[in-house]
A and B are shown apart, each in its own frame.
Chain A
Amino acid sequence: MRHHKNLRARGRGGTDIGFFLFKRVASFVATLLAASLVIFLVLDVLPGSAAEVMLGDSATPESVAALSKKLGLDRPAPVRYLDWMRGLSVGDLGTSVAYNAPIAEIVGERLAVTVPLALMAMALTTVLAFALGLFAAARHGRAADVGVMAASQVGIAIPNFWFAILLILVFAVKLRWFSAGGFPGWSVEAGGGPGPALRALVLPAVALAVVQAAILARIVRSAVIDVQREDFVRTARAKGVSRRGVLWGHVLRNAMVPVLTIMGLQFANLLTGTVVIENVFSLPGLGRLVFQAIANRDLLVVRDVVMLLAAAVVVINFVVDLLYVVIDPRLRVQSA
């Protein structure tokens, strides 16, 4: 009888997961499409004539018409939108007016800076936040806990770009351990290499991570404190599981749900933070590219980069949604 009940529960769980996944994938695709529509409306339809914006005040009707024809902007908006979507799906993003090169190529080069920077910053954020959060939770209510909380309150208030400037001031201007900005590139032939390239990303990643870790450490601390009070933790300890075993096997796993939610939300902050920090350190990433594109009135580049950044936020939130299910099996049934 008991065996039969278990089987039934498992069967229902399976369908629930299928429905849950379907709902999440559908909402993911709908959000991406809606984002692309808004970006297209704001940057392509709203300005009236994108070619006029790109050419600026010096535009003559002839030059506007010529550029419109060259970039295919003279076609109806729905055709342009569908063409843009088709291009995005096959990696053809059009041609940059300012660089006179395929946008996909330019974006690809810039991603080689932005993606490693974001990953380094996220890894550093996670390590710092868990170390501080667990340290504070283990000393709940004591001086060390109050100290970590006070430090994180200050960390949250510090603008990351100001912290970046302070890092430059200390480690580049005073100590001269790092350069104040710039990026040597990943290839040795171009005068760079993996070592110097990673070195150039250290200060930017620290600037991004410290402020983010201040927020996440608080979440880790309170999630761990909450879970530690649960009955199953006491039961596990009573059964003779070691303190460390309980922490890794029970407390952390259960504390991960709120922590992951915040990490997902933080990724959007991290991404916009990267745009700002790249400008502080003059790193040739997506953030610099989009600002140069604004200055050059290169609307197509702005459109593609904004779409890429918005898509990254949507994709990460989607992945976080899926991770919930892996971490907390109860959500499979509740969410369906």
Chain B
Amino acid sequence: MTGPTVIPRRRSRQHWWRANFVVGAVLVSALLALALLSFVWTPWPATELDIPNKLKPPSAAHWLGTDSLGRDIVSLLIVGSRVSIAVGLIAVGIGMTFGVGLGLLAAVRRGWIEEAVMRLSDFAFAFPALLSAIMLAAIYGPGLVTSIVAIGIFNVPVFARITRASALVVRSREFVLAARALGKGEGRITLEHVLPNIAAILIVQATIQFAVAILAEAALSYLGLGTQPPTPSWGRMLNEAQQQLFRAPMLAVYPGAAIALTVLGLNLMGDGLRDIFDPRLTQRR
């Protein structure tokens, strides 16, 4: 291959991944806008029962129809987005707070502390969010807190591993050696040099984990371990829709599509951010 044939191809590929980011960002912004909108306006009160109007097909009054209790589907979907965002934010927050802390500790202290953190994260992988949620639900009963804690715990080793690996790379760079030579302590080096340099990787991972958390929350709510009625959530909507599959099949389509579009948006955004932060990866694809 010669130079001139390579350059246009790379450019077009870069445009392709940037397009991914834009599509992802649009989907995620739409979700955020809907969630914010739900605090001031929904077409109908989301939890208001209207039994005489149950299982109505789409109409001017109810754009996507009503469910088996007469609740407006559009309103339920809009309010349901709040739970997804809240669980995603808190679970990723828990994962980042503890995971990044442990990962940095492992990278700075090395030795047995590093070994302990790594073995602990190996071990935590034996407990996917669903298993933790099952254990917590058996003792404390199902609920939103149970699912948030279970998903949060699962995020800790993910962030611990990626933080340690990236921090080790940054700590071997010359500017860290220079900072150390100037007499800066490990704490300051970590906060002023290491953390800002691994922030991009952590943001990308957070976007992906956000998507994973939304999928996990939906599954837990579908199984009855997560959000409890009457709080609307997409997972619960799917559970209720499955019971009406023969009478109103479309009820099972909307909440699933909402979950899939949200996760797709977050994944595309994560991919796009990775390419923006590290263009070398784009060329390797």
Contact = CB atoms under 8 A, between A and B. Distances in A.
Interface of A: 27, 30-31, 34-35, 38-39, 42-43, 46-47, 53, 141, 146, 153-154, 156-159, 161-163, 165-166, 168-169, 173, 180, 222, 265, 268-269, 271-272, 275-276, 279-280, 290-291, 293-294, 297, 299, 302, 306, 309-310, 313-314, 317
10 contacts: A47-B139, A53-B138, A161-B219, A161-B238, A162-B255, A173-B246, A272-B130, A276-B219, A293-B138, A299-B138
Interface of B: 9, 13, 16, 119, 122-123, 125-131, 134-139, 142, 211, 215, 218-219, 222-225, 238, 241-242, 245-246, 249, 252-253, 255-256, 259-261, 263-264, 267-268, 285
A46 B132 CA distance: 14
A6 B167 CA distance: 39
Give 7 nearest A-B pairs by CB, closest first. A162-B256, A157-B264, A157-B263, A272-B130, A302-B138, A272-B128, A310-B126
Contacts of B215: 159
Contacts of B252: 162, 165-166, 169
A117 to B, nearest CB: 16
Nearest to B129: A272
Given A153-B267, A159-B215, A302-B135, A165 B242 contact: yes
Contacts of A309: 131
A146 B12 CA distance: 13
Nearest to A315: B126
Contacts of A313: 125-126, 128
Contacts, number: 126
A250 B285 CA distance: 21
Nearest to A141: B9
Given A153-B268, A276-B219, A290-B134, A165 B245 contact: yes
Contacts of A291: 223-224
B135 A166 contact: no
Contacts of B255: 162
Contacts of A269: 128
B127 to A, nearest CB: 6
**Residue among A157, A272, A279 facing the most chain B CB atoms (10 A cut-off):** A157
A146 B242 CA distance: 34
Contact of A302 (B134, B222, B242, B245): B134
A268 B125 contact: yes
Contacts of A146: 16
Nearest to A279: B223
B223 A306 contact: no
Given A141-B9, A313-B125, A165 B238 contact: yes
B223 A222 contact: no
A299 B122 CA distance: 26
A314 B125 CA distance: 8
Contact of A159 (B260, B267, B285): B260
A272 B151 CA distance: 13
A156 B134 CA distance: 24
A257 to B, nearest CB: 17
Interface centre among A290, A294, A309, by most chain B C-beta atoms within 10 angstroms, is: A294
A26 to B, nearest CB: 11
Contacts of B238: 161-162, 165
Nearest to A290: B134
Contacts of B242: 165, 168, 280
A117 B242 CA distance: 21
A28 B252 CA distance: 42
Contacts of A299: 138-139
Given A35-B126, A269-B128, 4 more contacts: A158-B260, A162-B259, A165-B256, A276-B219
Contacts of A222: 285
A42 B139 contact: yes
A48 B218 CA distance: 31
Nearest to A272: B130
A161 B222 contact: yes
B137 A294 contact: yes
Contacts of B225: 294
A293 B137 CA distance: 11
